[in-house]
Amino acid sequence: MNRNGQRRFLEFFAGGGMARLGLGADWACAFANDFDPVKAATYRANFADAGKHFQEGDVFALSAERLPDADLAWASSPCQDFSLAGARAGLAGGRSSAFFGFWSLMRSLSAEGRAPSVIVIENVVGLLTSHGGADFTALCQALHEEGYRFGALEIDAGAFVPQSRPRVFVVATRNPPGDLVGSSAFHTRAVREAAARLPADLQASWVWWGAPSPPARNTDLASMLEPDDRAVWNPPERTAALLALMAPSHRAAVEARRAGRERAVGAVFRRMRGGEQRAEVRFDGLAGCLRTPRGGSSRQTLLVIDGGEVRSRLISPREAARLMGLPDSYQLPKSQTAGLQVMGDGVAVPVVRWLAETLLVPLVDSKTASLAAE
């Protein structure tokens, strides 16, 4: 931590700056980077000091010499090659291989004696199993070789906001874990199995982070939505076509709520099931995981049933932003597609905030306390 008491961090693959917003005012962003022009423009629109520290461009084009000292490095590297919905190319894939561009910078900083004491790597849950776990092992090996101890947490944003969005957070440190070790609800089966697959030398560097569970969420999908009179609704025939794609169990769930005459809000995704396109609806108060709008099946639809009437529409970028934990003051791109792209590739702000408060701040400050005692 620097002398004025504010913790400093580097943010790679920063997108719209959601990790920065989650870390909050007690952290100073010393450097941020993203290669995507839309995300870079969004970052600049939301942070007045972006001109001082934000650099647009490929991570492979960065040099460690130009990076300032920091306590924490955050990397939400492109996840497409790890995604369960993608081709699972793993760390050899063209997008997720960007991790190696980031890691070469961390190794250079380490050689200069300037490596951040804490690193967070955030990605989709598929990272744990990609190539039978070989990609996760390679990641842990890279951390181990640079003297970091590490552990993983699988946190679903649905614990904080009404969106089902499970993500893996690998937290690595050179500082003593101290009393931050323990049991956690975020040690899911996938995390436990990934840890068990590691070779003995990497298991010796594993830390079971004792991150506590947050208080119960008190919002639902309906509370995130714009008023009905501001929304752009699908024509009735499109809603009818959507209902026709539903399997009997999903159609029955719709009909039950239509008969109940009370307002109900559901989230709908179109998926391929057995070679056929299906529409699947959930009425549990959660949206499905927001995705980038690269294909028709990724566009999340809302189904609103009120007074026996069924209407449908696409989720708006502002609603998506709320589901990511962003305030309405957050400036979105003018294009709907661009807005959904930034949101679909982001990290939920309240998850970062919780992780910072319960784990990252104590970890970073433990180094400061140790230095003060010397």
How big is the chain by its Cα radius of gyration, in Å?
Answer: 22
- Among 315, 330, 353, the domain-final residue is 315
Residue 91 is predicted with a pLDDT of: 65
Q: Are residues 34 and 62 in the same domain?
A: yes
Do 159 and 239 lie in a common domain?
A: no
27 located within any domain: yes
**SS3 of 340, please?**
helix
One domain for residues 265 and 125: no
Residues 44 and 124 reside in one and the same domain:
yes
Residues 120 and 256 in one domain: no
Are residues 239 and 204 located together in one domain of the fold? Answer: no
Could you tell me which of 95, 105, 121 has the C-alpha nearest to residue 67? 105
Confirm whether 1 is domain-assigned. no
Residue 331, domain member (yes or no): no
> Which of the following is catalytic: 29, 79, 140, 289?
79
Write down the pTM of the prediction. Answer: 0.92
Q: Does residue 258 sit within a domain?
A: yes
| Overall domain count for the chain | 2
Quick check: is 61 in a domain? yes
Low-confidence ranges of the chain (pLDDT < 70): 1-5, 79-96, 294-299, 367-374
Tell whether 237 and 210 lie within a shared domain.
Answer: no
Residues 209, 263 share a domain: no
Closest CA to 342 of 350, 351, 332, 352: 332
Domain CATH number, residue 178: 3.40.50.150
- Provide DSSP, 111-154: HTT---SEEEEEEEGGGGTGGGGHHHHHHHHHHHHTT-EEEEEE
Domain check: are 11 and 135 in the same one? yes
For residue 163, give both structure tokens: 């969106």
CA 212 distance to own-chain centroid? 18
Query: Are residues 264 and 146 part of one domain?
Result: no
Judge whether 284 lies within some domain: yes
Domain boundary among 315, 330, 354: 315
In a domain, 330, yes or no: no
Provide the H-helix boundaries in 150-307.
189-197, 200-203, 236-244, 248-260
Query: 32: which DSSP letter?
Result: E
The answer as to whether 356 is a domain residue is: yes
Instruction: Say which residue the tokens 């396109």 belong to.
Output: 277
Phi, psi of 115, rounded to the nearest 5 degrees: -65, 140
Q: What share of the chain is helix, strand, coil (3-state, %, to 5)?
A: 40, 20, 35
Instruction: Name residue 65's amino acid.
Output: E
Could you confirm whether 79 is annotated as catalytic? yes
Distance CA 325, CA 224 (A): 10
Instruction: Write down the pLDDT at residue 374.
Output: 40
Verify that 65 and 191 share a domain, yes or no. yes
Sign of the CA dihedral running 223, 225, 229, 233: negative
How far apart, in whole angstroms, are the C-alpha atoms of residue 91 and residue 126?
11
Residues 116, 362: Cα–Cα separation, whole Å: 15
- Shared domain for 160 and 240, answered yes or no, is no
pLDDT computed for residue 372 by the predictor: 39
- The alpha-helical segments, DSSP class H, found in the chain are 18-23, 37-46, 50-53, 98-111, 134-145, 189-197, 200-203, 236-244, 248-260, 317-323, 336-344, 349-355, 361-373
**H or E element in which residue 198 lies:** none
Domain that holds residue 285: 227-315
d(CA 136, CA 281): 33
